[in-house]
Amino acid sequence: MNSVHIQGTLRTELGTKYAKALRAEGQVPCVIYGGEAPVHFSAPILGFRSLVYVPEVNLAVIELDGKKYEAVIKEMQFDVLKDTLTHIDFIQVVLGKPVTVDVPVKLTGNAAGVRLGGNLKIVMRKVKVKGIVTEIPGTIEHDITALKIGESLRVNEIKEGKPFEILSQDSGVIATIKTTRNVVVGAVEEETEEAEA
């Protein structure tokens, strides 16, 4: 997991009124939980680009008045109309203590079913993971080259050999290959015959 540096300012005035004023100034109100007491701070919205608007999960190194906190995102809130970031809850990373984060699943390879004209439908883009932060990757990659029409990739299939625990339900569907009108005539039957042979 890569790290992203965030330069912030401690907040002493709390509440909706002050949070609204910060947002008007281009700041995002945030809270870090998991330590001795919650730490309230704000940081420029542009500073979160490499943390929030990226396809992988990253560790946040937050600097406040000369003190650094390592944390991961627990929850984010966005403006319903503008879709802009309005609030972030962080969980502080404590040495040796596991954290729970949502990690994106990156599918690699060209699925057999897609080559035959099927349609790849992604159902679950992230899985919930628990582990030591240094052992959690930014993304979990899985090769779907062998995935055929009508088949699905489930959570239990990406668990093997991982140094962390995947908490998402084993039967949860990550991706599936749907049949379409473009499926080559007889391709499914031919594929079945080859498998039987």
Q: Tell me the residue length of the chain.
A: 197
CATH number, domain containing residue 118: 2.170.120.20
Q: What's the confidence (pLDDT) of residue 13?
A: 84
Surface-to-core class of residue 191, CB atoms within 10 Å of its CB (0-12 exposed, 13-18 middle, 19+ buried): middle
Q: What's the confidence (pLDDT) of residue 186?
A: 44
* Whole-number Å distance between alpha carbons of 159 and 164: 9
Q: What is the pLDDT of residues 27-44, one digit of tens each?
A: 999 999 988 889 999 999
* Nearest of 57, 51, 27, 53 to residue 41 by alpha carbon: 27
Task: Identify the band that residue 82 occupies on the pLDDT scale cut at 50, 70 and 90.
Answer: confident
Range of 142's domain? Answer: 101-187
* Whole-number Å distance between alpha carbons of 88 and 65: 19
Tally of domains in the chain: 2
Last residue of a domain, one of 71, 94, 117: 94
Q: What is the pLDDT of residues 84-128, one digit of tens each?
A: 999 999 999 988 889 999 999 999 999 999 998 889 999 999 999
184 or 14, greater pLDDT = 14
Joined together, the tokens standing for residue 105 give: 């699943």
Q: What are phi and psi of 174, to 5 degrees?
A: -90, -45
The enclosing H or E element of 158 equals none
Mean pLDDT (the chain) is: 88
Q: What is the pLDDT of residues 116-164, one digit of tens each?
A: 888 999 999 999 999 999 899 999 999 999 999 999 999 999 988 889 9
Domain identity same for 31 and 64: yes
